[in-house]
């Protein structure tokens, strides 16, 4: 197998166990119980960009297993905070949940506070794969400053592109487990029994912000606030644009081929 700075020997050696993301999900003093496995080469410092529903979370799952870097999703922090953080539930998280339900972005101030509380994850020796952050120019500029201060260089920014009708099909068919948070699709990733999670037997439900009326707001928000980041990272020589059509495995293989060039 050819190797390069994106996909060296760690890729293909075997799947890594799912990372413990306690430090990311809880923030503050929380620590992961299972330290990340030290990569054979350089650790990955990746950002995934792309419209809602394009399949970032699905690719992040594959990439984090095969490249052994931790999947850091800001959407996951916000959804988890409802259960974890009693103090935040009262104010910032309650209002964040409102923004999410409407399909709008949570204010930069709230999101950047969550990131500051999780700086150890950006320094982690296992590397990272950021999914859903940054999402605005202010977030991208702050991240750049934080990484420069920490002497951490981004490896690449993967920008996934998919026609709108396919995005709508992916989002409207998505179902998530209320217990273990596994993600399914009613056509593309069917559970064995309808409405039941294959992993833990939990109930599968539609995410509140996946309803069609909210999806329209999310797409518009993406075009206005997040699309400009494509140019931001292109100018820095980090951008790799990937066609997100086909199966998750095909998209992963395409990502590898594009980065081998
Ligand atoms: P977030 O959780 O980040 O959601 P998102 O970016 O809208 O992305 P999604 O999780 O909806 O989709 P995805 O691209 O991960 O697709 P998936 O792999 O699941 O953010 C939610 C909200 O939180 C935001 O709207 C905002 O309010 C707030 N927020 C979060 N971060 C923020 C920030 N930084 N600043 C401000 N606000 C923030 O795939 C979708 C479906 O398609 C699944 O069912 C999957 O099984 C299926 N699928 C995936 N790949 C394929 C394939 N190749 N073929 C067929 N089906 C596929």
- Catalytic residue list contains 174: yes
In angstroms, rounded to a whole number, what is the distance separating the alpha carbons of residues 192 and 90? 39
- Residue holding tokens 């996951």? 76
Residue 1's pLDDT band (cuts 50, 70, 90): very low
pLDDT of 3: 42
Return the higher-pLDDT residue of 9 and 86: 86
- Ligand 1: nearest atom to the Cα of 174: 44
Q: State the average pLDDT for the chain.
A: 88
In this structure, of 33-47, 55-69, 145-159, 229-243, the range with the lowest mean pLDDT score is 33-47
For 208-224, b where at least 16 C-beta lie within 10 A, e where not — what string? ebbeeebbeebbebbee
For the chain, list the strands marked E by DSSP. Answer: 44-50, 70-73, 127-131, 156-161, 174-177, 183-185, 204-205, 239-243
Return the higher-pLDDT residue of 158 and 5: 158
- Catalytic residue list contains 135: yes
24, 47, 53, 198: residue to mutate for ligand 1 pocket, most atoms within 8 A of CB: 53
- Catalytic residue list contains 235: no
In the reported structure, the alpha carbon of residue 66 is separated from the centroid of ligand 1 by a whole-number distance in angstroms of 20
Report DSSP state, residue 196: B
Q: Whose CA is nearest to atom 41 of ligand 1?
A: 170
pLDDT tens by residue, 158-210: 999 999 999 999 999 999 999 988 999 999 999 999 999 999 999 999 998 99
pLDDT tens by residue, 92-116: 777 888 899 999 999 999 999 999 9
pLDDT of 26: 86
In the reported structure, the alpha carbon of residue 53 is separated from the centroid of ligand 1 by a whole-number distance in angstroms of 5
Which protein residues are within 6 Å of ligand 1, measured from CB?
50, 52-58, 73-75, 78, 99-100, 103-106, 111, 132-133, 135, 139, 170-171, 173-174, 183, 185, 188-189, 209, 218, 247-248, 251
In angstroms, rounded to a whole number, what is the distance separating the alpha carbons of residues 242 and 235? 17
| Cβ-based neighbour number of residue 26 at 10 Å | 18
pLDDT of 4: 46
Q: Whose CA is nearest to atom 5 of ligand 1?
A: 52
Non-local CB neighbours of 21 within 8 Å, separated by 6+ positions:
32, 70, 71, 72, 76
- Catalytic residue list contains 207: yes
Q: What is the pTM of this model?
A: 0.91
Report DSSP state, residue 224: I
Arithmetic mean of pLDDT, 119-129: 91
Residue 15's pLDDT band (cuts 50, 70, 90): very low
Residue 158: C-alpha distances to residues 21, 59, 174, 259 (Å): 22, 10, 22, 10
């Amino acid at each position: 197998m050819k190797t390069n700075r994106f996909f060296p020997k760690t890729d293909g050696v075997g799947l890594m166990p799912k990372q413990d993301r306690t430090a990311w999900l809880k923030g503050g003093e929380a620590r992961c119980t299972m330290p990340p496995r030290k990569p054979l080469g350089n650790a990955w410092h990746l950002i995934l960009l792309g419209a809602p529903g394009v399949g970032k979370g699905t690719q992040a799952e594959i990439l984090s297993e095969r490249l052994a870097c931790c999947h850091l999703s800001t959407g996951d922090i916000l959804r988890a905070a409802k259960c974890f953080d009693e103090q935040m539930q009262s104010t910032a998280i309650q209002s964040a949940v409102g923004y999410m339900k409407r399909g709008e972005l949570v204010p930069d101030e709230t999101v950047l506070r969550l990131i500051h509380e999780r700086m150890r994850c950006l320094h982690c020796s296992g590397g990272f794969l950021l999914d859903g952050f940054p999402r605005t120019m202010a977030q991208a500029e702050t991240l750049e400053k934080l990484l420069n201060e920490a002497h951490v260089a981004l490896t690449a920014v993967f920008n996934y592109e998919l026609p709108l009708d396919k995005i709508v099909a992916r989002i409207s068919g998505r179902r998530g487990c209320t217990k273990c948070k596994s993600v399914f699709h009613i056509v593309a990733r069917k559970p064995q029994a309808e409405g039941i999670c294959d992993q833990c037997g939990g109930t599968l439900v539609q995410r509140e912000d996946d309803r069609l009326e909210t999806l329209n707001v999310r797409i518009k928000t993406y075009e206005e606030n997040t699309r400009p980041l494509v140019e931001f990272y292109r100018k820095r020589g980090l951008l790799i644009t990937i066609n997100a059509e086909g199966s998750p495995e095909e998209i992963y293989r395409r990502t590898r081929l594009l980065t081998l060039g």
